[in-house]
Structure 1
Amino acid sequence: MLRPSTTMHFDQSFQVNIMERKNYKLLEQIVRNKIPCLFISPHFDDAALSCGGLISYLSDKTKVVVVNVFTEANEPPYTLSTKVFLGRCGYKNAKKLFEQRKLEDSLSFKNLKVQIINLGFVDALWRKDANVGLLIKFLGRFIPEIIHVYKTGRLHVLKGKVSEKDDQIMLQIKKRISDIVRGENAVLFLPLSIGNHVDHVIVKDVCSQLNLTKVFWLDYPYSLKSKVTNGFWDKYKFNTLSFNENQDDRMKLIKGYKTQISGLFPGGNIKLVPEKYFWKV
């Protein structure tokens, strides 16, 4: 079974030191050899948030594909956390929200030469336990939390601990992405899972097992608050890239996700920082 890696916690001083080095060699190789680039985005907005400038830069130079993994919600009953999330987005119906998010994603990238693939897996906040008994299923009508894999957002989804009940989903995601990249000498761009959202962790862990060049991105805006200190960095030496081109395009992409702005940026104040990328030496 695919199991999640250790939850990461960031140390700001280490982050600053590693960012001081710039390495454009891989980027030059991608452009020169027109190597396909796949950005594996946990949710509709993640690739644009963290990599919008690079996606814009590469889109007219090579094949660029954005693969959105968790793009669906489940039917009611909703947990308290899902109701809070829906309210923050200005919706009461999750299906309608995700239809709008899909539209936002499509419209945001419409002016770029980017292919979008939506895998259709259910977002962590809405994932239900398929193996509960009849009694629990009945009680779940009144206490929805007991039939969901992740009961709450803050205490479960954002803790970075992937449930064993997601093992099958992880295998399915690995197969779907493997099928997409089959025969391609592609570069995979994927999240470091800063912020410890389980969907980000799943994407990182699944894609890390694929036999392709992998470039990790620093999850924005979660990287503004989170810190990292564990052995993930000690195992490998990393090339790093601080990318600050095409940031106007990145801002336009981000502003296209109107349902998410208030939750991600209180007051609507979007403070961009350079995009950060890491790959093994």
Structure 2
Amino acid sequence: MAIESRIERSLAGGRPWLFLSAHLDDAVLSCGALIEAQAQEREIIVATVFTEASPAPHTRAARSFLRQCMLEDGVQLFEARKAEDMAVLEAMGVRPVHLGAVDALFRRRVLPRLARGAGNKLLPELTHRYSTYRFDIALGRIARGDKTLIRQLQDDVAELMAATKPELLFCPVGVGSHVDHLITRKAGEGHSENLVLYSDFPYDLVSQPDAAELARLGYQPWIWEEGLSSKHTRIRQYSTQADGLFPSGDIPIKAETYFVPHPWLNS
């Protein structure tokens, strides 16, 4: 007789699930079909980690992102994004939580005391922890200055786990190597008895998870294919983001991929 995976075992019950989302759309992009299917069966909480921007001046990379979103101010953009996220998740029957960390594009360095007064006069790239997207944020190298942030987020997730008592905790596996996705994984991976990793969409259209690392950890893929045809409707409701993510207008239909411990590690 086949041994059930961690997700299959949980599907038979009705205990809460907690999803960690790096940004204000990632959980729906990567897990929206499973979330919507299960929201009628159990409490689903989506906790988004990076939900704020620092005020201007912004780096060139951040300004480019803002133009893509048809806005000029980072703080204004993230207010709009939080409103989108709450509307989408509440319509799905999901409880949204915003943890309030600053997005990597807008995350500032802690300047030496003598430089603080001149901070706004310096080139923004010199005052931000990740000065570019391509050569910093997307290379998967978490800055040393984010160590304190990671510890704080680990405490935040532990508090959420204690408060909501979820049976499963879903975290991004980190396809695409975006530092915020990798930090989000680190924030939750200490809860190994509850942990499920999910493949990051749409990054996984062009990249694949690190199969060797997952095998070393004893994780194997688990696929969800129900409800995919209507998932694009929810993605489109993140209107500040959808056109930039899918400039052709077409949102590919792709099965959601999760990674769970081999069944013999579940027992």
Q: What is the correspondence of 1:185-224 to structure 2 with a 5 Å cutoff? A: 185-224=166-205
- Aligned-partner residue type, residue 271 of structure 1: P
Please report how far the alpha carbon of residue 40 of structure 1 lies from its aligned counterpart in structure 2 after TM superposition.
0.2
CA contact (8 A) 1:52 1:249 kept: no
From 95, 101, 106, the counterpart of 2:81: 101
CA contact (8 A) 2:33 2:231 kept: yes
User: Is 2:235 the partner of 1:259?
Assistant: no
Q: Give the aligned partner of residue 34 of structure 2.
A: 54
* CA RMSD of superposed structures (Å): 2.0
TM-score (norm 1): 0.87
Distance 1:223 1:167 in 2: 27
Distance 2:189 2:69 in 1: 32
Q: What is the correspondence of 1:1-281 to structure 2 with a 5 Å cutoff? A: 25-135=5-115, 138=118, 140-182=120-162, 184-229=165-210, 231-281=212-262
Distance 1:224 1:257 in 2: 19
Distance change (3 Å), C-alpha of 1:110 and 1:249: farther
CA contact (8 A) 2:47 2:97 kept: yes
Q: Give the aligned partner of residue 265 of structure 2.
A: none
- Aligned-partner residue type, residue 20 of structure 2: I
Percent identical among aligned pairs is 31
Distance change (3 Å), C-alpha of 1:142 and 1:236: closer
Distance 1:136 1:198 in 2: 25
CA contact (8 A) 1:57 1:246 kept: yes
- Aligned-partner residue type, residue 232 of structure 1: E
Q: Give the aligned partner of residue 9 of structure 1.
A: none
Bigger mean CA offset, 260-269 vs 36-45: 260-269
Please report how far the alpha carbon of residue 136 of structure 1 lies from its aligned counterpart in structure 2 after TM superposition.
6.6
CA contact (8 A) 2:44 2:94 kept: yes
Give SS of 1:268's match.
coil
Please report how far the alpha carbon of residue 107 of structure 1 lies from its aligned counterpart in structure 2 after TM superposition.
1.5
Distance 2:6 2:88 in 1: 27
Which of the pair has the greater relative contact order for Cα pairs under 8 Å at 6+ separation? 1
Bigger mean CA offset, 188-197 vs 247-256: 247-256
Distance change (3 Å), C-alpha of 1:86 and 1:116: same
CA contact (8 A) 1:50 1:219 kept: yes
1:152-178 deviations in whole A, cap 9, x for unaligned? 111101111101100111011011110
CA contact (8 A) 2:225 2:256 kept: yes
Give SS of 1:194's match.
coil
TM-score (norm 2): 0.91
Distance 2:3 2:141 in 1: 32
Distance 1:94 1:242 in 2: 36
Give SS of 1:188's match.
strand
Distance change (3 Å), C-alpha of 1:23 and 1:99: farther
Distance 2:211 2:126 in 1: 32
1:55-77 deviations in whole A, cap 9, x for unaligned? 00110111100000000000111
Give SS of 2:170's match.
strand
Aligned residues: 260
Can you give the 5+ residue segments of structure 2 that lack an aligned partner in the other structure? 263-267
Distance 1:239 1:227 in 2: 14
CA contact (8 A) 2:157 2:187 kept: no
Give SS of 2:90's match.
coil
- Aligned-partner residue type, residue 243 of structure 1: W
Give SS of 1:153's match.
coil
Please report how far the alpha carbon of residue 228 of structure 1 lies from its aligned counterpart in structure 2 after TM superposition.
4.4
1:219-256 deviations in whole A, cap 9, x for unaligned? 00001111445641341332321111122442221011
